[in-house]
């Protein structure tokens, strides 16, 4: 696989990328079209917010927190500045720090590893299952040591992890489990929603997430009253009252304007998720019999809130080029196992640590998926993939 610095630099400095993106006939996601579909309600809410003058915390954040708590079915929701900060505040509240270990997956966005390292702890990477690309619960127990302070599974692409197995391990060893549910708002395991499946759940409202804001935002969900109270303190300088800090904190609040607009969008989440699940079914039907590509599983009892629709292909880069050529955007989530990224060079992880992750990083490709996507667009993507895979050079 290619994870050298030079390749990364080439990717970052490839100025042609934006030009290609702007001419895409079928984008990967489409937050602007999502806005257009509910423009009147969003515009009205924004004007009302601007006129009211309560720009930090206040009634909009409180109301949105209550709505999310009710939706996820937990007692508490605490709005923070981003999904990354949600993770940071929860790990801080659990006392994760210098010398501790946190068990997590290397096949994800950098945020979770970032916060573990920022807390002074060491990420202990456990490999993924090849059929879901979520952390392999069967490999977690062997990674536990007397330094393990937390288990942090990530519901990748919106598919809940095997949380029953993971929670069992956590209980047996008395180690708290925290969900990185940033991609998974709306997903469920046996009817119970992500964010209510462990000690605490962390969500992101980054514009392309299941519930996308108009900027950054995040929220923590939990049934644990003490954890909730500490997170509330931490997000506002550790001060229960102005100028009376009782602990060192952060400045990390969910922006009130985002909260006001997210309240409007939350009402549409179920419909949007249903449409994305419909599109996923179309992809599955259209691609099932194409040889040379592998669909990921949605195991029985789990409802995936499709953040991405991702497949595995041997000649992934070739397929991506063919799609680009046809004006179809595709994403690679994620091209490099986290422990092999340049940012982690000094931490001493080595290639070969998680073979399933390393194989997946070479094979995954995510296809266009957004609630306003038309059936014809899904068909066009499937046709393009079939054409490419039928070519004799395809592998």
Task: Tell me which of 178, 182, 185, 280 binds ligand PLP, using CB under 6 A.
Answer: 182
Task: Tell me which of 45, 137, 154, 175 binds ligand PLP, using CB under 6 A.
Answer: 154
Candidates 77-85, 89-97, 130-138, 353-361; binding stretch for ligand PLP (CB under 6 A): 77-85
Q: How many chain residues are in contact with ligand PLP, going by CB under 6 A?
A: 15
Candidates 39-47, 82-90, 261-269, 338-346; binding stretch for ligand PLP (CB under 6 A): 82-90
Asked if 185 is part of the footprint of ligand PLP (rule: CB under 6 A), the reply reads: no
Task: Tell me which of 206, 283, 306, 370 binds ligand PLP, using CB under 6 A.
Answer: 206
Question: How far, in Å, are 241, 327, 369 from residue 277 at the CA level?
Answer: 45, 23, 10
Quick one: 69 or 178, whose CB is closer to ligand PLP?
Answer: 178
Question: From CA 318, how far away is CA 148, in angstroms rounded?
Answer: 41
At 303, phi and psi to the nearest 5? -105, 115
Q: Please give the structure tokens belonging to residue 345.
A: 């060079």
The sign of the CA dihedral 283, 288, 291, 296 is positive
- For every residue of 31-48, DSSP letters joined together read HHHHHHHTHHHHHHHHHH
Quick one: 193 or 290, whose CB is closer to ligand PLP?
Answer: 193
CB 153 within 8 A of CB 143: no
Give the nearest distance from C-beta 263 to ligand PLP in angstroms.
18
Quick one: 84 or 93, whose CB is closer to ligand PLP?
Answer: 84
Question: Between 210 and 239, how does the x/- string for binding to ligand PLP read (CB under 6 A)?
Answer: ------x-x---------------------
Question: From CA 181, how far away is CA 212, in angstroms rounded?
Answer: 14
Give the nearest distance from C-beta 209 to ligand PLP in angstroms.
6
Residues 88-147 that bind ligand PLP (CB under 6 A): 108-109, 111-112
Q: What is the spatial order of strands in the sheet that 309-313 belongs to? A: 293-295, 309-313, 364-367
Quick one: 132 or 183, whose CB is closer to ligand PLP?
Answer: 183
**Neighbouring C-beta atoms of residue 22, cutoff 10 Å:** 8
168's enclosing H/E stretch is: helix 163-173
Residues making contact with ligand PLP (CB under 6 A): 82-84, 108-109, 111-112, 154, 180, 182-183, 204, 206, 216, 218
């Amino acid at each position: 696989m290619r994870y050298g610095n030079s390749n990364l630099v080439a990717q970052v400095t490839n100025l042609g990328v934006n030009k290609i993106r702007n001419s895409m006939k079928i984008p990967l996601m489409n937050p602007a079209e999502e806005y257009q579909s509910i423009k009147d309600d969003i515009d009205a809410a924004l004007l009302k917010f601007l006129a009211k003058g309560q720009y930090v915390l206040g009634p909009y954040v409180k109301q949105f927190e209550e709505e999310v708590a009710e939706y996820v079915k937990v007692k508490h929701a605490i709005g923070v500045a981003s999904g990354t900060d949600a993770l940071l505040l929860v790990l801080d509240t659990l006392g994760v720090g210098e010398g501790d270990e946190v068990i997590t997956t290397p096949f994800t966005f950098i945020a979770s590893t970032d916060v573990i390292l920022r807390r002074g702890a060491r990420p202990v990477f456990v490999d993924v299952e090849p059929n879901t690309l979520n952390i392999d619960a069967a490999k977690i127990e062997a990674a536990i040591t007397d330094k393990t302070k937390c288990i942090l599974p990530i519901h990748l692409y919106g598919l809940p992890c095997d949380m029953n197995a993971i929670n069992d391990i956590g209980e047996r060893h008395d180690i708290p489990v925290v969900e990185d549910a940033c991609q998974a708002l709306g997903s469920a395991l046996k009817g119970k929603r992500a964010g209510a499946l462990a000690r605490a759940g962390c969500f992101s409202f980054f514009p392309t997430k299941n519930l996308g804001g108009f900027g950054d935002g995040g929220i923590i969900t939990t049934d644990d009253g003490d954890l909730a109270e500490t997170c509330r303190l931490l997000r506002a300088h550790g001060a229960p009252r102005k100028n009376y800090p009782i602990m060192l904190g952060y400045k990390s609040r969910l922006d009130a304007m985002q909260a006001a607009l997210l309240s409007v969008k939350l009402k549409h989440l179920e419909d949007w998720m249903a449409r994305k699940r419909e599109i996923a079914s179309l992809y599955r039907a259209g691609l099932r019999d194409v040889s040379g590509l592998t669909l990921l599983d949605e195991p029985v009892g789990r409802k995936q809130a499709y953040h991405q629709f991702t497949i595995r292909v041997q000649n992934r880069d070739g397929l991506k080029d063919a799609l680009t050529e046809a004006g179809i955007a595709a994403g690679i989530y994620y091209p490099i196992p986290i422990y092999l990224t340049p940012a982690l060079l000094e931490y001493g992880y080595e290639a070969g640590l998680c073979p399933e992750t390393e194989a997946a990083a070479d094979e995954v490709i995510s296809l266009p998926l957004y609630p306003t996507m038309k059936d014809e667009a899904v068909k066009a993507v499937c046709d393009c993939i079939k054409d490419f895979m039928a070519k004799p050079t395809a592998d």
